[in-house]
């Protein structure tokens, strides 16, 4: 719909334009611009969502247990936390690591593959200072690592790898052991540059000083156990029947309260308090209707009350699950 403007209105618009006060026209249109989703075809998708979720959950557990152990060994509080996960190529994973980080090769048994754990150098130097009885009031100055530094770095990283091995054993039935320790630029032999790799970045906090740790998991390292990680072997594998039988066997021994109920009625508090020996409570149900049998709060069937020797008993009258 168009509208002709008077000369006065045109003059007012021109004056508003000079003052930079033109009316906002964006509200006149209610159409939304089309949403465009950017797809990066260079980013690998080998790790399924379930793989990533279960690995990230396991590393969360590792952060808790490793922080407890390191706090005891270094005699100061340490916090570890997962801050991000990303699926990239091996070369892309290398570019995400802080420069100058120390890297320890992780041998995965019994599949005989390798992963990589890196720790930023300030974290390692602060750990060395604490192992030698020093304090962590401020990050130590950057220095060339001596033979003693390398030996203490080995002890510090071995403590971390021990806790990491425990969570991988729970996750996939494999263990990891620490191999050679070197600078991160000498780790190209683990995987090819295009190998899909899951990078789990962690943050360590020692006296409010933050450092980065990273776990690099190339796909070839977990390919033999990928089904076990995602738990599909329990659902669809050869031992699925045995797993289901185990669940049924465990549930069969769960205690359940079985009770027989004549009827149920709600009474006001004043009537309940007025009950005395000889009082009659009308339930509103005929005696020949029998009783209802419940498992916990679930009604199963109707039954006829009676006795079995000296014990009270009920005889199932309707089919289990039948109506009253």
Place 41 in a pLDDT band, splitting at 50, 70 and 90: low
Is residue 140 within 8 A of residue 50, CB to CB? The reply is: no
Using one digit for the tens of pLDDT, what is the confidence trace for 150-196? 888 999 999 999 999 999 999 999 999 998 888 755 555 788 888 99
**Same-domain check for residues 311 and 202:** no
**Same-domain check for residues 262 and 291:** yes
158 Cβ neighbours under 8 A, 6+ residues apart: 178
**Same-domain check for residues 226 and 266:** no
Strand order in the sheet with 311-316: 258-261, 291-295, 298-308, 311-316
**Same-domain check for residues 59 and 208:** yes
Reduced to 3 states, what is the DSSP secondary structure of residue 61? helix
**Same-domain check for residues 161 and 234:** yes
217 strand-pairing partners: 198
**Same-domain check for residues 228 and 270:** no
**Same-domain check for residues 220 and 308:** no
Residue 245, preceding peptide bond in cis (omega within 30° of 0): no
Tell me, what's the pLDDT at 241? 60
**Does residue 26 sit within a domain?**
no
307 Cβ neighbours under 8 A, 6+ residues apart: 313
**Does residue 249 sit within a domain?**
no
**Does residue 29 sit within a domain?**
no
Using one digit for the tens of pLDDT, what is the confidence trace for 240-286? 565 566 677 777 878 888 888 888 888 899 988 999 998 888 888 88
**Does residue 42 sit within a domain?**
no
Domain count, the chain: 2
Is residue 225 within 8 A of residue 173, CB to CB? The reply is: yes
Whether residue 287 has pLDDT greater than 70? yes
Indicate whether this model's pTM tops 0.85.
Answer: no
**Same-domain check for residues 287 and 211:** no
Q: What range does the domain containing 287 cover? A: 258-274+282-316
């Amino acid at each position: 719909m168009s509208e002709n403007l008077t000369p006065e209105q045109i003059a007012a618009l021109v004056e508003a334009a000079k003052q930079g006060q033109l009316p906002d026209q964006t509200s006149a249109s209610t159409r939304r611009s089309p949403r465009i989703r950017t797809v990066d075809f260079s980013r690998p998708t080998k790790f399924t969502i379930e793989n990533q979720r279960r690995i990230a959950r396991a590393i969360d557990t590792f952060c808790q247990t490793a922080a407890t152990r390191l706090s005891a060994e270094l005699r100061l509080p340490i916090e570890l936390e997962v801050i991000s996960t990303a699926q990239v190529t091996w070369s892309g994973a290398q570019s995400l690591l802080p420069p100058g980080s120390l890297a320890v090769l992780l041998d995965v048994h019994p599949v005989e593959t390798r992963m990589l754990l890196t720790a930023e150098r300030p974290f390692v130097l602060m750990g060395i200072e604490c192992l030698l009885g020093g304090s962590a009031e401020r990050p130590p100055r950057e220095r060339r690592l001596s033979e003693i530094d390398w030996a203490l770095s080995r002890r510090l990283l071995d403590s971390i790898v021990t806790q990491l091995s425990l969570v991988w054993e729970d996750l996939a039935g494999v263990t990891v052991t620490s191999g050679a320790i070197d600078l991160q630029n000498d780790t190209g032999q683990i995987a090819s540059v295009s190998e899909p790799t899951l990078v789990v970045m962690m943050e360590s906090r020692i006296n409010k000083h933050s450092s980065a740790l990273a776990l690099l998991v190339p796909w070839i390292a977990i390919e033999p156990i990928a089904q076990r990680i995602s738990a599909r072997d329990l659902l669809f594998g050869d031992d699925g029947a045995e797993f289901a039988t185990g669940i049924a066997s465990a549930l069969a021994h769960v205690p359940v309260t079985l009770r027989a109920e004549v009827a149920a009625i709600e009474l006001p508090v004043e009537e309940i308090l007025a009950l005395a020996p000889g009082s009659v409570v009308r339930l509103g149900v005929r005696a020949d209707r029998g009783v209802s049998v419940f498992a916990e709060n679930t009604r199963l069937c109707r039954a006829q009350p009676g006795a079995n020797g000296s014990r009270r008993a009920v005889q199932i009258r309707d089919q289990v699950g039948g109506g009253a």
